[in-house]
Amino acid sequence: MRRLIVAITGASGTIYGIRALQMLREIADVETHLILSPAALRTAAEEEVGMSADEIRALADRVHSHKDIGASIASGSFKAEGMLVAPCSVKTLSGIAHCYADDLTVRAADVCLKERRRVVLMLRETPLHAGHIALMDLATRAGAIIMPPVPGFYTAPKTIDDIINQTAGRALDLFGIDHPAVKRWSRGEPA
């Protein structure tokens, strides 16, 4: 059984983390561990994702309190493929870049990085200033992958859902988790 930690923070785009969890539920051999911040719940309500906090939590196999820095996922002995932070707020990026583990999201990301596991940060901020770029550089040097949820239009998306599915699915690709919703570039070749 593979394990993936998914954190949803307070940045705009909570649907990306929710959709990743929905996609992961369709993959039998992946156990999900969710960290859901209070700011994420507020943002999800503002963005009208159409799900209650309990419904979002129910998408994961395990839910951990964002305050519990002693949770199993805060230890290097917890075996996981890595961690997806979707969306990733600048505050969370800053904590990860500076190893300031004052909550479980940053602590779990820091542990994954020290264990050389994948940490994918779907940074949701635009435009960027030099401080944001410096934080992305620091996080990348520590081993994180910065993946802003910028849509690829080569798939000819017809709906916002198409864009969300492709972006969330491409984030899962970075963990070696394949989902059939992802459209692959084929350049005229059969997909």
What is the tens place of the pLDDT at every residue in 16-35?
Answer: 999 999 999 999 899 999 99
With H, G, I as helix, E, B as strand and everything else as coil, classify residue 179: coil
d(CA 105, CA 85): 8
Which tokens is 161 given? 């859902």
Is 183 within a domain? no
Helices (H) and strands (E) in the chain, counts: 7, 6
Note the Cα 84 to chain centre separation in Å.
3
Q: Is residue 187 part of a domain?
A: no
3-state DSSP assignment of residue 125: coil
Mean pLDDT value of segment 96-105: 96
> Model-level pTM?
0.96
- CATH number of the domain that 59 lies in? 3.40.50.1950
Would 191 be classed as within a structural domain? no
Q: What is the chain's alpha carbon radius of gyration, rounded to the nearest angstrom?
A: 16
Please choose, from the candidates 149, 152, 94, 145, the residue with its C-alpha nearest in 3D space to the C-alpha of residue 121.
145
Q: End-to-end distance of the chain based on CA atoms, in angstroms?
A: 28
For the segment 103-133, what is each residue's pLDDT rounded down to a tens digit?
A: 999 999 999 999 999 999 999 999 999 999 9
Does residue 185 sit within a domain?
A: no
Give Cα separations from 161 to 47, 80, 136 (angstroms).
Answer: 14, 28, 27
Under a CB-based contact definition with an 8 Å cutoff, are residues 135 and 93 in contact?
A: yes
The domain tally of the chain equals: 1
pLDDT at residue 61, as a whole number:
98
Range of the domain at 117: 2-173
Burial level of 185, CB count in 10 A (0-12/13-18/19+)?
A: exposed
Residue 191 has pLDDT above 60, yes or no: no
Q: Show the tokens assigned to 169.
A: 């699915």
